[in-house]
């Protein structure tokens, strides 16, 4: 099978590195020419639990036409880049190509289905942790489950095929029949952790063990849960605050992706995380002051003069 991963950031490199040992043909698609050159010459290097980094040399290109039609395209670009990444990836998408988004936040499905039929699309979440150390250099910051699911029942076969590919590469994966609750479940965890860690410049663990941060996290998550409830989404766990606290503990030593973005002076995914909760809440007439404030504070941090 030909697998194309769009986005050579932390997660894209991690998945490419983990899939590199499999029997599949692997391509990375990356718009940044600097990253393409660096990875083409030095390869991908994945550091796992302090061991010697595993180095692999996947094919990498900025032009999707070089890769040809893919069996599976995995989108791991930042949420604000989804529409552009799908346009750039069109040459690898044939009538049978499975397109999987494992991106953070909400809104990716809508952006992708503007160009790709729903029958080809799978969505999912991953609890794999990755810290970008440099171009093509990643630290595997924790192994976690990847959950994937179709948007329409006919897509189940595709979801099971991707699950098989992941599992045979040692990436734990499960298939969910209804993916929306899974996406909302991850959204609430990200809404509770990402902005706070970026604003306070702390590792994930501090949100779980510092009472003032935990109090803000609880409010952000509870607001998001109220929005999900009003939309009729039943979350994949009984208590979203407990779940978020568990993830803080499980990823205590990680820097969240939003912390990493702010530290590197990059745009964040705030609009697809806390911002999307604010958008839904406004439409529903629900108050979400904490999510609103977190969104504004991260927007302020994105201004070059602030961070
Ligand atoms: O998904 C994450 C992220 O950083 O984006 C969490 C779960 C917070 C782990 O770091």
pLDDT digits (tens), the chain, 307 positions:
999 999 999 999 999 999 998 899 999 999 999 999 999 999 999 998 878 889 999 999 999 999 999 999 999 999 999 999 999 999 999 999 999 999 999 999 999 999 999 999 999 999 998 999 999 999 998 888 999 999 999 999 999 999 999 999 999 999 999 999 999 999 999 999 999 999 999 999 999 999 999 999 999 999 999 999 999 999 999 999 999 999 999 999 899 999 999 999 999 999 999 999 999 999 999 999 999 999 999 999 999 876 5
Active site positions, annotated: 186
**Residues 59 and 203 grouped into a single domain:** no
Ligand 1: residue whose CA is nearest its atom 6: 256
**Residues 47 and 74 grouped into a single domain:** yes
pLDDT computed for residue 185 by the predictor: 98
- Please state the atom number of ligand 1 nearest to the C-alpha of residue 190: 8
Taking alpha carbons only, the member of 188, 189, 206 closest to residue 197 is: 206
Taking alpha carbons only, the member of 48, 280, 251, 278 closest to residue 259 is: 251
The reply to whether 306 falls in a domain is no
The reply to whether 211 falls in a domain is yes
For ligand 1, the distance from its centroid to the CA atom of residue 65, given in whole angstroms, is 32
**What pTM was computed for the model?**
0.95
First-to-last C-alpha distance (Å) of the chain:
43
The reply to whether 197 falls in a domain is yes
- Please state the atom number of ligand 1 nearest to the C-alpha of residue 189: 7
**Residues 199 and 71 grouped into a single domain:** no
For ligand 1, the distance from its centroid to the CA atom of residue 77, given in whole angstroms, is 15
pLDDT computed for residue 306 by the predictor: 67
List the domain range (segments joined by +) for residue 261: 180-301
- Please state the atom number of ligand 1 nearest to the C-alpha of residue 255: 10
Q: Ligand 1 in contact with 247 (CB < 6 A)?
A: yes
175, 198, 226 - which closes a domain: 175
pLDDT computed for residue 232 by the predictor: 98
**Residues 159 and 188 grouped into a single domain:** no
For ligand 1, the distance from its centroid to the CA atom of residue 96, given in whole angstroms, is 31
């Amino acid at each position: 099978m030909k697998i194309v991963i769009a986005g050579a950031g932390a997660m894209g490199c991690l998945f490419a590195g983990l899939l590199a040992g499999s029997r599949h043909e692997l391509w990375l698609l990356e718009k940044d020419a600097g990253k393409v050159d660096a990875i083409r010459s030095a390869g991908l290097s994945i550091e796992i639990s302090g061991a010697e980094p595993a180095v692999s040399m996947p094919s990498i290109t900025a032009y999707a036409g070089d890769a040809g039609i893919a069996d599976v395209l995995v989108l791991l670009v930042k949420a604000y880049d989804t529409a552009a990444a799908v346009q750039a990836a069109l040459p690898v998408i044939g009538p049978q190509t499975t397109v999987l988004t494992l991106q953070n936040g909400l809104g990716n499905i809508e952006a992708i289905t503007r160009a790709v039929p729903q029958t080809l699309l799978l969505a999912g979440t991953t609890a794999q942790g990755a810290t970008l150390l440099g171009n093509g250099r990643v630290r595997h910051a924790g192994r976690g489950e990847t959950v994937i699911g179709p948007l329409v029942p006919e897509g189940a076969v595709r979801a099971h095929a991707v699950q098989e590919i992941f599992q045979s590469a040692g990436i734990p994966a499960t298939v969910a029949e209804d993916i929306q609750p899974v996406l909302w479940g991850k959204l609430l965890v990200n809404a509770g952790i990402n902005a706070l860690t970026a604003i306070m410049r702390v590792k994930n663990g501090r949100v779980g063990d510092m009472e003032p941060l935990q109090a803000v996290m609880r409010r952000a998550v509870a607001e998001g849960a109220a929005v999900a409830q009003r939309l009729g989404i039943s979350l994949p766990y009984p208590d979203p605050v407990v779940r978020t606290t568990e993830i803080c503990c499980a990823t205590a030593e990680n820097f969240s992706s939003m912390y990493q973005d702010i530290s590197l002076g990059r745009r964040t995914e705030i609009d697809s995380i806390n911002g999307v909760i604010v958008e839904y809440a406004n439409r529903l007439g629900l108050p979400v002051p904490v999510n609103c404030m977190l969104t504004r504070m991260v927007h302020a941090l994105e201004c070059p003069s602030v961070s």
